[in-house]
Amino acid sequence: MVAQDFGGSFNASFAGAGRRRERGAAGREAARRRMEKLAYLLDNAVRVPGTSFRIGLDGMLGLVPGIGDALGSILSLWIIVEAHNLGMPKTALARMLGNVGLDFAVGAVPVVGDLFDFAFKASTRNMRIVRRYMEAMDGPIIEGDYRPVD
């Protein structure tokens, strides 16, 4: 089978997809902010009324039988792709994949898995790993503006 040429701009952008490395502290900071936004959306976007507990899109998607946990895991994998683009070590990426895998596997179990989805917060755990790596690279991180506002 021969690969088809779809034109310059498509081929150029597709060829570099997933292999881009964020350069410099400003690029790493921009990547961290993108990941923080997604992690917040997936794990902590909504406060449960009358409590201090927060839930996110990942837990809510997990309530959808069949495809919910898969969709949540696919979204969580984007954080790992960004972390790879930052040049994080394979051991850290493997740990992050383990968090998403555990979230997916246990989340697939009816009822118990749904409760686990709301409590485990794989994306938040993965962002802790990313922050530790970035602090080692660039020094302490000043917390962004993606925190719950009550």
Mean pLDDT, residues 96-123: 93
Region of poorest pLDDT, from 14-18, 53-57, 77-81: 14-18
- Spell out the SS3 assignment of the chain: CCCCCCCHHHHHHHHCCCCCCCCHHHHHHHHHHHHHHHHHHHHCCEECCCCCCEECHHHHHHCCCCCHHHHHHHHHHHHHHHHHHCCCCHHHHHHHHHHHHHHHHHHCCCCHHHHHHHHHCHHHHHHHHHHHHHHHHHCCCCCCCCCCCC
pLDDT at residue number 65: 85
pLDDT band at 141 (very low <50, low <70, confident <90, very high): low
Is residue 13 included in any domain, yes or no?
Answer: no
What global pTM score does this model have?
Answer: 0.76
pLDDT at residue number 66: 79
Is residue 106 included in any domain, yes or no?
Answer: yes
Is residue 6 included in any domain, yes or no?
Answer: no
Is residue 15 included in any domain, yes or no?
Answer: no
Is residue 146 included in any domain, yes or no?
Answer: no
pLDDT band at 48 (very low <50, low <70, confident <90, very high): very high
Residue indicated by tokens 């989340």: 107
Is residue 133 included in any domain, yes or no?
Answer: yes
pLDDT band at 137 (very low <50, low <70, confident <90, very high): confident
Is residue 61 included in any domain, yes or no?
Answer: yes
pLDDT at residue number 92: 96
pLDDT at residue number 24: 77
Expressed as residue numbers, the domain containing 81 is: 23-138
Is residue 5 included in any domain, yes or no?
Answer: no
Tally the domains of the chain: 1
pLDDT at residue number 9: 43
